[in-house]
Amino acid sequence: MAGESSEIGTFLEPVGKVTIGQIDPRTLSRQQFDSSNERLFHGASANFAFDSNFDYQDPSFLKFSIGSFTLGSGFYTVPDKETAAGYSQVRQFGNKVDLNILTLLPYQATMLDLRVKTDNGKNAPVPKELFEKWQKHYLENYVTPDIPFASEFREEYAEHLQKVSRLPDIDLRVMLWTAADKRIGDDCYPAPSWSELFSRFIREEGYDGIIYNEGVEKKNSRESPTYVFYNLGKIGTYESWQKQK
């Protein structure tokens, strides 16, 4: 659980680099697509057509989005449909409306799996080398975007990273300051202005996304790991893959 990395211990090794999506979705029939054991699900606030060219930094999206970027700017999916349904309901403020669930398949996506190698139900600490690279990348490349709170927290986050660097084990969300760690303070932000920078950083490190146990937002939903994609060209719905034939 984020914010409790002291229970993780530095001896727990992450799964590391994995490739998911072994079969080209463009070669599958609709029935084969819908029955694939590699399916992932996205619970949305409203029905929409998935587009691999979607821009998370589009001003209209930033203005009206009610979501959060706890693991960076990207497309969030889970392997459990019931959990996706819970996200859809939460994003509609719990109103009794139709659930909007997208079924997707990845293809040759290189993911950084931060779950513990010997126990996928737990998260491993962020590798020290990766943390140091991110800290350096942030300090060298952060440019305040056109977001009101960006300037205010720029230096604060740099100071936060300095505190995090002294922890014996570093949780991903604590590193991103989207979860609290009582050892260094309780403040956290659901969608910080450095989310997009982090997404680009991970792609530059050779990954299309991250796998992480983020937990669930809706009571009684099943625990399910989050698969967040920063490279949207590596995932799609049946319809979006067919358009690429």
Q: Return the higher-pLDDT residue of 26 and 63.
A: 26
State the Cα–Cα distance between residues 217 and 86, nearest whole angstrom.
7
* More confident of the two residues 34 and 189: 34
Rounded to two decimals, the pTM is: 0.86
Over residues 237-242, the mean pLDDT reads 95
- For residue 101, the cross-strand partners are 43
Overall average pLDDT of the 156-168 stretch: 94
Ranking 6-15, 21-30, 72-81, 227-236 by mean pLDDT, the lowest is: 6-15
Residues 33, 202 contacting (CB under 8 angstroms):
no
* Top-confidence residue, 141 or 238: 238
CA distance 172 to 4: 11
Q: What is the pLDDT of residues 65-120, one digit of tens each?
A: 445 689 998 889 999 988 888 776 666 665 656 677 889 999 999 999 999 999 99
- Which pLDDT score is estimated for 224? 82
- pLDDT (0 to 100) of residue 53: 83
- Lowest mean pLDDT across 74-78, 153-157, 208-212, 234-238: 153-157
- The answer to whether residues 107 and 235 touch, using CB atoms and an 8 Å cutoff, is yes
Mean pLDDT within 134-142: 90
Identify the pLDDT of residue 5: 42
User: Residue 244: pLDDT above 50?
Assistant: yes
Q: Which residues of 171-202 are buried (b: 16+ CB within 10 A; e: fewer)?
A: bbbbbbbbbbbeeeeeebbebbbbbbbbbebb
Over 90: is that where the pLDDT of 9 sits? no
Query: Do residues 230 and 134 touch, judged by C-beta distance below 8 A?
Result: no
- Of 110, 103, 35, 61, which Cα lies nearest the Cα of 241? 103
The helix/strand/coil state of 23 is coil
Question: Where is average pLDDT lowest: 48-57, 71-80, 124-133, 145-154?
Answer: 145-154
Is 12 a residue whose pLDDT tops 90? no
Average pLDDT, rounded, for the chain: 83
Query: 160 falls in which pLDDT band (50, 70, 90)?
Result: very high
pLDDT reported for residue 59: 58
**Region 131-155 average pLDDT:** 75
Q: Provide the 10 A C-beta neighbour count for residue 133.
A: 14
CB 26 within 8 A of CB 240: no
- Which SS3 state, helix, strand or coil, does residue 63 take? helix
Mean pLDDT for 50-62 is 68
